[in-house]
């Protein structure tokens, strides 16, 4: 009596099987990758992988989230307001120039944020992106850097 030998093994050595062991429900007619005709029925592990196309805007897209666009706009508007208050209430020439520089930096931040939102946010509606561009151009025309 030999223990541990599957049914169908007739060799004297318990580790060498003379016939292949077939388990219940096993399909022996399906080709394996080593048999001829295996190319016709591809195994799931041999299917080609899908490689997504590289888009350089995908790296910049997190910088143009709704939250960061709002924060950038608010900071730019605050700097514009602060610079206007400083040069509007100043009595000295250097303080007046400092206020103009702060206001110009606020205009720069707001226009860059709006243009970046229009360029990077391709998932937004066309009219929204067009509105970003119009707002940035209007700020640059009517307020200007200096």
Q: Is the CB of residue 13 less than 8 Å from the CB of residue 2?
A: no
- Residue at token pair 């060799």: 11
**Closest CA relative to residue 60, chosen from 120, 133, 110:** 120
The model's pTM: 0.56
Q: For the segment 44-103, what is each residue's pLDDT rounded down to a tens digit? A: 566 667 776 777 667 777 777 888 889 999 999 999 999 999 988 888 889 999 999 999
**Closest CA relative to residue 122, chosen from 70, 57, 62:** 57
């Amino acid at each position: 009596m030999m223990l541990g030998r599957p049914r169908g093994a007739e060799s004297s050595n318990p580790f060498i099987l003379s016939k292949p062991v077939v388990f219940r429900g096993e399909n022996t007619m399906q080709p394996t990758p080593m048999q001829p005709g295996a190319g016709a029925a591809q195994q799931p592990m041999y299917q080609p992988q899908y490689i997504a196309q590289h888009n350089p805007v995908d790296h910049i897209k997190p910088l143009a989230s709704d939250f960061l666009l709002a924060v950038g706009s608010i900071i730019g508007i605050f700097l514009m307001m602060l610079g206007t208050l400083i040069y509007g209430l100043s009595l000295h020439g250097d303080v007046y120039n400092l206020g103009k520089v702060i206001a110009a930096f606020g205009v720069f931040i707001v226009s860059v944020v709006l243009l970046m939102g229009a360029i990077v946010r391709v998932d937004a509606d066309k009219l929204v992106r067009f509105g970003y561009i119009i707002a940035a151009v209007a700020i640059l025309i009517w307020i200007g850097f200096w």
